[in-house]
């Protein structure tokens, strides 16, 4: 890969989502990595500049380091499709489905990919009696989360019936759709994927050991107490089975470029259950894709270059009629 072949590159970072702070950290790391390899890379914050400036200013590729809404949900991808500027990561449809945890589950269930059972509550249409009865179906604890947020924002582990209403109401502030999910006790792992279609491959699985088992926003990005185990130390055969499963899950969603899927392995049955997919994963100092890539012999800088080289458009541009 000749860095000069990429042309002028915009690293999209910041943005309008609740994950803006993390996105700025991710984008800053990517920008420095690309600059260190001789790429003509520039920071671009869609919260401060209109996307139309990408075309005006002659950008030829975009590295999307945005997280969450207005960056990972198909909206920016759609704008870049219209501008004709290739971008990293999944396209419009795969991004839109993957940001929505409920829609992701529906696709996975249809394709026989195991995921925890769930109940969907819609803001403004659920009654108190309906909320407090959710554990009757899913058991306790229950995981309550906004359907379209990332980085564990708004996620609550509910231990008792009396705590359900407050958790659902808090999640409903962040999203009109609230996902109540069966809690799976066991090993928490994550597995990144690089590539597209038949060429996609799973990187080493990472096992996450968070303080008191609470892998929340603080412990994800700002704690040194969370441990990440690579090699993951799972029993023989389990890592390979998880890699095969996440590859299937990634492909059925139509993802491309890269992604990362979070998984819980049931402590009793050792069955893996897929929780969600990230189509624009973090690239901070605490982030897991770079960590897994290092275990596979890929440096942070090489990873950034590889991802940039995979930038593409969903639709091939047709020549304008003369």
Q: What tokens appear for 274 in the block?
A: 């897929």
Active-site residue, from 14, 15, 17, 19:
19
Q: Is residue 313 part of a domain?
A: no
Q: What are the Cα distances from residue 135, in Å, to 142, 179, 192, 228?
A: 7, 13, 32, 31
Q: Is residue 193 predicted with pLDDT exceeding 50? A: yes
- Asked if 178 and 229 count as a contact pair (C-beta separation under 8 A), the reply is no
Counting the structural domains of the chain, the total is 3
For residue 322, the model assigns a pLDDT of 42
Active-site residue, from 17, 151, 287, 292:
151
What mean pLDDT do residues 245-269 have?
Answer: 98
Reported in sequence order, the residue ranges of 21-137 that DSSP labels E, i.e. its strands, are 40-44, 61-64, 118-122
Q: Is 72 marked active-site?
A: no
What mean pLDDT do residues 250-262 have?
Answer: 98
Query: Do 19 and 68 sit in the same domain of this protein?
Result: yes
Query: Do 226 and 173 sit in the same domain of this protein?
Result: no
Query: Do 54 and 16 sit in the same domain of this protein?
Result: yes
pTM (two decimals): 0.93
Query: Do 271 and 196 sit in the same domain of this protein?
Result: yes
Q: Is residue 161 part of a domain?
A: yes
Residue 205 structural domain: 97-115+185-307
- pLDDT tens figures, 35-69: 999 999 999 999 999 999 999 999 999 999 999 88
> Where does a domain end: 182, 207, 229?
182
Active-site residue, from 87, 118, 215, 221:
221
Q: Is residue 106 part of a domain?
A: yes
Q: Is 228 marked active-site?
A: no
Listed in sequence order, the residues at least 6 apart from 113 whose beta carbon sits closer than 8 Å to its beta carbon are 245, 248, 249, 252, 274
- Grouping H, G, I as helix, E, B as strand and the rest as coil, residue 59 is coil
Q: Is residue 236 predicted with pLDDT exceeding 90? A: no
Q: Is residue 320 part of a domain?
A: no
Q: Is 278 marked active-site?
A: yes
Query: Do 197 and 296 sit in the same domain of this protein?
Result: yes
- Asked if 8 and 35 count as a contact pair (C-beta separation under 8 A), the reply is no
Q: Is residue 312 part of a domain?
A: no
Pairing of strands 186-194, 258-266: antiparallel
Q: Is 73 marked active-site?
A: no
For residue 3, the model assigns a pLDDT of 86
CATH code assigned at 125: 3.30.1490.20
DSSP string, 11-24: EE---SSTTHHHHH
Q: What are the Cα distances from residue 71, in Å, to 45, 146, 283?
A: 11, 17, 15
Active-site residue, from 126, 177, 276, 287:
276
Query: Do 196 and 134 sit in the same domain of this protein?
Result: no
Active-site residue, from 61, 282, 287, 292:
282
Q: Is 177 marked active-site?
A: no
Q: Is 151 marked active-site?
A: yes
Confidence of residue 4 (pLDDT cuts 50, 70, 90): confident
CA gap 113, 107 in Å, rounded: 8
Active-site residue, from 260, 280, 287, 300:
260
Q: Is 221 marked active-site?
A: yes
Q: Is residue 262 part of a domain?
A: yes
> Where does a domain end: 136, 156, 182?
182
Active-site residue, from 90, 98, 278, 280:
278
DSSP class of residue 212 equals G
CATH code assigned at 9: 3.40.50.20
Query: Do 199 and 293 sit in the same domain of this protein?
Result: yes
Q: What are the Cα distances from residue 155, in Å, to 174, 180, 231?
A: 10, 10, 28
Q: Is residue 321 predicted with pLDDT exceeding 70? A: no
Query: Do 135 and 279 sit in the same domain of this protein?
Result: no
Query: Do 197 and 261 sit in the same domain of this protein?
Result: yes
CA gap 192, 232 in Å, rounded: 13
- Asked if 228 and 289 count as a contact pair (C-beta separation under 8 A), the reply is no
- pLDDT tens figures, 78-93: 999 999 999 999 999 9
Query: Do 254 and 105 sit in the same domain of this protein?
Result: yes
CATH code assigned at 240: 3.30.470.20
Residue 313 main-chain phi, psi, to 5 deg:
-115, 150
Burial, 212: exposed, middle or buried (Cβ in 10 Å; 0-12, 13-18, 19+)? exposed
pLDDT more than 70, % of the chain: 93
Q: Is residue 315 part of a domain?
A: no
> Where does a domain end: 163, 182, 201?
182
Q: Is residue 259 part of a domain?
A: yes
- Grouping H, G, I as helix, E, B as strand and the rest as coil, residue 38 is coil
Query: Do 178 and 190 sit in the same domain of this protein?
Result: no
Active-site residue, from 175, 181, 262, 292:
262
Q: Is residue 214 predicted with pLDDT exceeding 80? A: no
Query: Do 101 and 220 sit in the same domain of this protein?
Result: yes
Residue 41 main-chain phi, psi, to 5 deg:
-105, 145
Q: What tokens appear for 108 in the block?
A: 């996975």
């Amino acid at each position: 890969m000749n860095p000069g072949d990429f042309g002028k590159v915009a690293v999209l970072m910041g943005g309008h989502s609740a994950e803006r702070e993390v996105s700025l950290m991710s984008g800053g790391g990517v920008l420095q990595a690309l600059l260190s390899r001789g790429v003509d890379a520039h920071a671009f914050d869609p919260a401060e500049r209109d996307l139309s400036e990408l075309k005006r200013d002659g950008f030829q590729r975009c590295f999307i380091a945005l997280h969450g809404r207005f960056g990972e949900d198909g909206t920016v991808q759609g704008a870049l499709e219209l501008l004709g500027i290739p971008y990293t990561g999944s396209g419009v449809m795969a991004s839109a489905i993957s940001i929505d945890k409920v829609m992701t589950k529906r696709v996975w269930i249809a394709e026989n990919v195991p995921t925890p059972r769930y109940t969907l509550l819609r803001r403004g249409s659920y009654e108190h009696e309906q909320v407090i009865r959710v554990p009757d179906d899913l058991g306790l604890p229950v995981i309550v989360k906004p359907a379209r947020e990332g980085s564990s924002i708004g996620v609550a582990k509910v231990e008792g019936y009396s705590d359900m209403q407050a958790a659902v109401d808090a999640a409903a502030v962040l999203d009109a759709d609230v996902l109540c999910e069966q809690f799976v006790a066991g090993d928490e792992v994550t597995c990144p994927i690089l590539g597209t279609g038949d060429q996609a491959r799973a990187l080493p699985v990472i096992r996450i050991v968070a303080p008191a088992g609470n892998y929340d926003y603080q412990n994800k990005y700002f704690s040194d107490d969370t441990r990440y185990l690579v090699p993951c130390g799972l029993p023989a055969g389990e890592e390979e089975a998880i890699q095969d499963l996440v590859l299937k899950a990634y492909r059925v969603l139509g993802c491309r470029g890269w992604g990362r899927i979070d998984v819980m392995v049931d402590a009793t049955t050792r069955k893996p259950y897929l929780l969600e997919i990230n189509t624009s994963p973090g690239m901070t100092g605490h982030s897991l894709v770079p960590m897994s890539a290092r275990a596979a012999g890929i440096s942070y800088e090489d990873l950034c270059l590889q991802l940039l080289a995979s930038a593409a458009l969903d639709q091939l541009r047709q020549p304008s009629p003369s």
